[in-house]
Chains A and B, each alone.
Chain A
Amino acid sequence: MNNIFKSIRKSFSARLTIFILTVTALLFIAAICIMAFSSRKLIQQEASRGAENILKATVSNIEETITSVESSTLSTAWMVNENKDNPGYMYTMTKQLIASNPYIIGSTVAFRPNFYEQYGEYYAPYSYKDEETGKIISFQMGNEDYDYHTMEWYQLPYLLKRSGWSEPYYDEGGGEQIMTTFSVPLQDENGEIFAVMTADISLKNLTEQVAQTKPYPNAYTILVSNNASYISHPIGERILNETIFSNALELGDTTLMSLAYKIVGKETGDIEFLDETGEKSLAIFHPISNGWSVVLVCPLKDVLEKTLEMNLILVLVLLFGLILLALLCWLTIRRLTRPLSEFCDSANNIAQGNFNSSLPRIKSHDEMRKLHDSFAHMQRSLTSYINELKTTTSAKERIDSELNIARNIQLNMVSTDFRENLYATLHPAKEVGGDLYDFNFTDGKIKFAIGDVSGKGVPAALFMAITRSSFMFVGGLGLTVQQIIERINNTISRGNKQMLFVTMFAAMYNPKDHILSYCNAGHNPIVIIEPPKEEGGEAHAFYLKAKPNLVLGLMEDFKYEGEEIEIAPGSRIILYTDGVTEAENATKEQYGEERLLEFARKAFNIPTAKECTEALLADVQAFANGNPQNDDITILTVDV
């Protein structure tokens, strides 16, 4: 399962498809909901209208029955009035009425007490239709046990002086069925009521008729009386025993209660309510002319069955559509993005150094084409860049190796034939540099010199080589330092169009008379450290004041002035180039002459010239603290 999710996350087409599907599905669901809601309303309205029509048909059938019973009874009642002098004829009357109307199953003319003196208190000729034989049987039914004068069917028309229908009742002892009676008061010329004529009808026919009104399989129709008591109901026990009111009270259902009130109020309409099983149902009701009402109850589930069916079909169609869409999306996006994975392979190939790796073929003119062109451009650029890099790298390697050789040549050019009392070090800032030094010991004297060519690098190095060769040559000729300097100046001044120049300090020490002869050509002042005057005292270090004259290489035949100084035996002399005093630390602070003099004061106690030289170099490097060396550094120490 995890693997499936991982591959979905990695696959562009899968992710896009899921996104599109989600949005589409949401839209579909919204559409279904709206359609379901509106179609449900529509179908419910349609259903309730249809049911109402069915109900009206039932109602008019019932009313037809009732009207026919009423008119037959009223016309017979008129004839009774005509023949009231003939009491025996009443049997015939009732028989005729039953015969004339198929719905009437019983009839009587019940006279008020002592209307006929010969019959006394009770006279009520009664006829009824025997159900088994179909014969009409007559008898006089009034007696002390059956005191009809107190009965509802007699009392109501008698007192109200108008005809009407009784509440339905269960006829025990008679037809053993639910019946209702239409009673008509009979009045004499004075308007006094002398008898009540009745016609009994069985509700069996009516209820059967009502029961057939069933527009949906689980729908049922009930007939209720004036006071909402059940005349017909699928649950038989309810008939005549319960009313909609009692039912609503029992269930605590206010909707049902309002239905009962509407029915009693003889209203027409429909109402939605929960039936006893908790199912949503639709009740459609219509009054009948005799004061009863017919109520059609349809479970909403049945009514809306068509909606459900329709919705189900809709959902299936949409589901099918979604699956189709998913398939199409996935295939299309995969086809469109296939070059991407191929580009990925190409990029990997290129990353491994294969710049001619083939690219996917793109026929479209969209972003893929742009990507393709960018890739191709990148390949070309990389190829030419790498080629260029190879060329420059090899050129640089060549120069580097040549410079290395040059550095070795240059370092071999300066003497390293040091003595106990003389040591020097040379550190070019680049591979090759412009500093130089030299020394020799001839005629019992020590000759030494230090120089610095303006600038650095290869030009300075070449100029240094010329200067150094010149010095080697003239240094051994037994000349004074002043003559040496002038000879070198003349040599290097010729043809120096580049205006490169050399600063130089040359000196010669004669240990016999302790005289130091020297000539300066624009070089930094040298440091002399004299031993303490008394035991345990401090050494005396100072910069030797020398005439600057002029740097070498600028003016041929320049007259340099030489000087002399007597120095104490055991003194130490330090010569250096400006790489020492101008060495900088990270904050651009220079090592400086003060710091150098400070070092010199302590340096007297350093045993050998070599150690002193190395200590000064270490001090300068410690001061620079890793800051890159800008200039060549050269130090020469001589102990005399």
Chain B
Amino acid sequence: MDVTIKNEGAKTLVTLQGRLDTTNASDFQNDIQPLMEGEKPDIEIDCTDMEYTSSQGLRMFLILQKSVLARQGQLVMKNMKPQVKEVFDITGFSNIIKII
């Protein structure tokens, strides 16, 4: 899983690439640690090249969402592949995290 984080003005752009599964979930947690800091974050995650996420991965997005909400910020995920979107839908995560 490759994570790229870029700041564009007040917005933070994150690009994900590859598979997010049990084996690399803790690496991913470290990679997104910068996103857990700062007031009123405005984070946009581009999932164009994300192939798969496991339930561990979902947990990471959930932790991120909770952290963002606690800091009065917002988190948006976009361009999900259908099979990834399906996981978010099945588990009801689409109701918690804003997906466009």
Contact surface of A with B, Cβ cutoff 8 Å: 452-456, 499-501, 503, 521-525, 548-551, 554-555, 578, 582, 630-631
Contacts and interface: CB of A to CB of B under 8 A. Distances in A.
Counting chain B CB atoms within 10 Å of each CB, which of A500, A522, A523, A549 scores highest? A522
A522 B90 contact: yes
Interface string B71-94: 000000000000000000111111
13 contacts: A454-B55, A454-B59, A499-B62, A500-B59, A501-B58, A503-B91, A522-B92, A522-B93, A523-B90, A523-B91, A525-B90, A550-B96, A555-B96
A521 B22 contact: no
A522 B91 contact: yes
Contacts of A554: 62, 96
Contact of B63 (A455, A499, A523, A578): A499
A454 B90 contact: no
B56 interface: yes
A630 B21 contact: yes
> Which secondary structure dominates where chain A touches chain B?
loop
Interface of B: 21-22, 25, 54-56, 58-59, 62-63, 66, 89-96
Given A452-B55, A454-B55, A524 B90 contact: yes
B62 A550 contact: no
Given A503-B91, A523-B90, A550-B92, 8 more contacts: A452-B55, A454-B55, A455-B55, A499-B63, A501-B59, A522-B93, A523-B91, A554-B62
A501 B95 CA distance: 15
A452 B91 CA distance: 11
A523 B66 CA distance: 22
Nearest to B86: A593
Nearest to A582: B54
A503 B59 contact: no
Given A550-B96, A554-B96, A499 B59 contact: yes
In order of increasing CB-CB distance, the 8 nearest A-B pairs are: A522-B91, A550-B92, A454-B55, A548-B92, A522-B92, A454-B59, A551-B91, A499-B63
Contacts of A551: 58, 91-93
Contact of B59 (A455, A522, A549, A582): A455
B63 A548 contact: no
Contacts of B92: 521-522, 548-551
> Which secondary structure dominates where chain B touches chain A?
helix
Contacts of B96: 550, 554-555
B57 to A, nearest CB: 9
Contact of A630 (B22, B59, B94): B22
Contacts of B95: 548, 550
Contacts of A548: 89-92, 94-95
Contacts of B55: 452-455, 501, 503, 578
Contacts of B66: 499
Nearest to A554: B62
Contacts of B25: 455
Contacts of A630: 21-22
Contacts of A503: 55, 90-91
B72 to A, nearest CB: 19
Contacts of B62: 499, 501, 554
Contacts of A578: 55
Nearest to B89: A548
A634 to B, nearest CB: 14
A521 B56 CA distance: 16
Given A499-B66, A524-B90, A456 B22 contact: yes
Counting chain B CB atoms within 10 Å of each CB, which of A454, A500, A503, A523 scores highest? A454
A304 B95 CA distance: 120
Counting chain A CB atoms within 10 Å of each CB, which of B54, B92, B93, B94 scores highest? B92
A500 B62 CA distance: 10
B56 A455 contact: yes
Nearest to A503: B91
A503 B88 CA distance: 12
Contacts of B54: 582, 631
Nearest to A453: B55
A499 B62 CA distance: 7
Nearest to B56: A455
A591 B94 CA distance: 25
Contacts of B22: 455-456, 630-631
A463 to B, nearest CB: 11
B39 to A, nearest CB: 22
A555 B95 CA distance: 12
Nearest to B62: A499
Contacts of A499: 59, 62-63, 66
A560 to B, nearest CB: 9
A468 to B, nearest CB: 17
Nearest to B25: A455
A555 B90 CA distance: 16
